[in-house]
Homo-oligomer: A and B are copies of this chain.
Amino acid sequence: MNITMEDIARECGVTKMTVSRVLAGRNGVKPATRDKIMAVANRLNYEVNALARNFNSNRSGFIGIATPFDGLLGSTYFEQLFMGFRRALKDTGLDYALFDTNSAPFNDGEKLRRLYRQKRVDGLLIIALHTTDRFLGTLEELRTPMVVVGEQPECPTVCSVSCNDEHGIDLACRHLFSLGHRRIAFVEGPRDFATADRRRAAYVKFCRDHQLENPPIYTQPGDFTVRSGRDAGRALLHAKPRPTAVVAANDRMAFGVIDTARELNLSVPNDISVAGFDDLRSAADRHPSLTTVHQPVIEMGELSARTLLESINNNGIPSGQTVMEVSLAVRESTAPPPSESASI
User: Which residues on A are within 8 Å of B, measured CB to CB?
Assistant: 47-52, 54-55, 58-62, 65, 69-70, 73-80, 82-83, 86, 95-100, 114, 117-120, 225-227, 230, 259, 262-263, 282, 285-287
Contacts and interface: CB of A to CB of B under 8 A. Distances in A.
A78 B52 CA distance: 32
A207 to B, nearest CB: 30
Given A49-B118, A54-B55, A286-B226, A69 B86 contact: yes
Copies of this protein in the assembly total 2
A78 B74 contact: yes
A98 B183 CA distance: 47
B51 A55 contact: yes
A36 to B, nearest CB: 22
Given A76-B74, A98-B95, A286-B259, A60 B50 contact: yes
Nearest to A79: B74
B83 A79 contact: no
A50 B119 contact: yes
A118 to B, nearest CB: 4
B259 A262 contact: no
A60 B69 contact: no
A77 B86 CA distance: 21
Contact of A55 (B52, B62, B259, B287): B52
Nearest to A284: B227
A118 B61 CA distance: 13
Given A49-B119, A95-B97, A98-B98, 16 more contacts: A47-B118, A48-B118, A50-B120, A51-B58, A54-B54, A55-B55, A65-B98, A69-B86, A73-B79, A74-B74, A74-B80, A74-B82, A86-B100, A95-B99, A226-B282, A230-B285
A8 B177 CA distance: 67
Closest 8 CB pairs of A and B: A74-B79, A55-B55, A47-B117, A50-B118, A96-B98, A73-B79, A51-B55, A50-B120
B62 A97 contact: yes
A253 B40 CA distance: 53
12 contacts: A48-B118, A51-B51, A51-B55, A51-B60, A52-B55, A55-B55, A61-B120, A65-B98, A73-B79, A95-B97, A96-B97, A259-B286
A331 to B, nearest CB: 15
Nearest to A117: B47
A271 to B, nearest CB: 15
Contact of A83 (B52, B69, B225, B262): B69
Contacts of A100: 86
B69 A73 contact: no
Contacts of A118: 47-50
A143 to B, nearest CB: 12
